[in-house]
Structure 1
Amino acid sequence: MKFFLASLLLPVLVAAQDYGAPAAPSSSSGTTSSSAAVPTATSATEHVITVGLNDQFKFSPNNITAKENDTVTFFFEGSFNHSITQSTFANPCTYMSGGFNSGLQPAGNSFSLTVTNASQPIWFYCEQTTPEKHCGIGMVASINAPTSGSNTFSAFMSKALALGQSGEGSQTQSAALGTGALGAFASQAAASATSSSGSSSGSKSSSERVAIGAGAILAGVAAALYTLA
């Protein structure tokens, strides 16, 4: 009986070890063939922007270049709550309808954007008004702003500074929008830094699930062998 159960155990163990492993390439003797290179996907980059570092009302850095599918993650710092609020170039301190908005976030939280159209610049600002309007003192930033022409990042900053503290309706103080797709510009996600670390623990690949199932079978067979011993 032990030999019979052991013979059942061996195929299960082999299956658990070999699941998902690529098949060894076959060689054909006497012939020459050229195998086409397997295309590899361009790896996405994560860009990091710090918001309110050392209680400065600025994004660090405030102007970056990102490729399509790149992620831009904002980390909130300092004593004041800040936001990542999308605007247009023409109205740098006014929320763009349908755009992204993290809402005012305290230090320790984070906010992420995934760039879905690198050909279009993304403009944003902080909508905090305490102790003064942060956008009006230059707390603005951009992704993929043109380096020449009339709509450069410097021109965007100048427009915000021109509004100063007296621009009517320059701030929205709007609530954070829900996560989801955001047209052609970006997708967003806001999360507390303390709770996001375990967010991926519940998802497992198919190979992990098979390995876990095989482990359970092995444990059961081992228990049966032990009982018969």
Structure 2
Amino acid sequence: MVSSKIFAAAALASIASAIDHQVKVGSGGNVYSPSTIPGVAVGDTVSFQFQGTVHNVVQSSFSSPCTPMDNGFSVPFQSSSDTFTVNVTTTDAIWFYCSYQNHCNLGMVGVINPGTGQTQGAFASAAKGATVSQPKSNSAVGGVLGSG
């Protein structure tokens, strides 16, 4: 009984200490701001806040920029003040891009928890020549879309 209370208290403390990392999408052009989000812990969230122009957020991999990752998160094109929130389940690097027109090729890419040698700048350079692919689903996958 005591151990279950300790476990419950630890779980609540973990939830209480979770941080929501906010990223503006399209504020000031075809950019994520910030485009690099370091130090995101398991249990934290990243909220992508759309700023009124047409963009989306699609998870990718470093080796295949501008291509949706199987079982990755994505949200359809947004042009409102909606927010797409992703729960972080790993401290590994999580790469993402905008699949609208040629935004990915122009450097609208980002990373959560970049690794050594795999920077947002290197990802943006690789994206310049990549073929931009759309996510398979036209609905939010791997996160929660809400008004914000």
Shift, 1:154, TM fit: 2.1
Cα shift at 1:172: 1.5
Spell out structure 1 runs of 4+ moving beyond 6 A: none
The one-character-per-residue Cα deviations of 1:155-175 (angstroms, maximum 9, x if unpaired) are 1111112x1xxx44x221644
In the TM superposition, residue 98 of structure 1 has moved relative to its aligned partner by: 1.6
From 132, 137, 155, the counterpart of 2:106: 137
Q: What TM-score do the two structures reach when normalised by structure 2? A: 0.82
Partner of 2:123: 156
Residue 103 of structure 1 contacts residue 174 of structure 1 at CA under 8 Å; is this kept in 2? no
Pairing 1:15-164 to 2, within 5 Å after superposition: 41-42=13-14, 43-54=17-28, 56-65=29-38, 66-78=40-52, 80-118=53-91, 120-129=92-101, 133-146=102-115, 148-149=116-117, 151-161=118-128, 163=129
For 1:136 and 1:82, how far apart are their aligned partners in 2? 13
Tell me the distance in 1 between the aligned counterparts of 2:140 and 2:110. 22
Query: What is the TM-score of this pair, normalised by structure 1?
Result: 0.55
TM-superposed CA distance for 1:176, in Å, is 3.3
Higher relative CO (Cα under 8 Å, sequence separation at least 6) belongs to: 2
Q: 1:178 to 1:105 in 2, by over 3 A?
A: closer
CA distance in 2, matches of 1:125, 1:176: 16
Match status 1:188 vs 2:143 = yes
Aligned-partner Cα distance in 1 for 2:139–2:72: 9
Name the CA distance, whole Å, in 2 between partners of 1:67 and 1:159. 27
| CA distance in structure 1 between the partners assigned to 2:73 and 2:139 by the alignment | 7
Residue 83 of structure 1 aligns to a residue whose secondary structure is strand
Q: 8 Å contact 1:100–1:177 — kept in the other structure?
A: no
Structural RMSD (CA): 1.9
CA deviation string 1:35-78 (max 9, x = no partner): xxx86724101111000003x00000000021110011111013
Distance in 2 separating the partners of 1:77 and 1:41: 33
Structure 2 portions without partners, runs of 5+: 1-8
Check the 8 A contact 2:56/2:78 in 1, yes or no. yes
Structure 1 pair 60–178 and aligned structure 2 pair: CA distance change class (3 A): closer
Q: Distance in 1 between matches of 2:13 and 2:126?
A: 39
Superposed displacement of residue 99, structure 1? 1.0
State the one-letter code of the partner of 2:98: C
More strand, by proportion: 2
Count matched residues. Answer: 136
Q: Percent identity?
A: 35
The CA distance in 2 between the partners of 1:190 and 1:88, in whole Å, is 22
Give the structure with the higher percent helix. Answer: 1
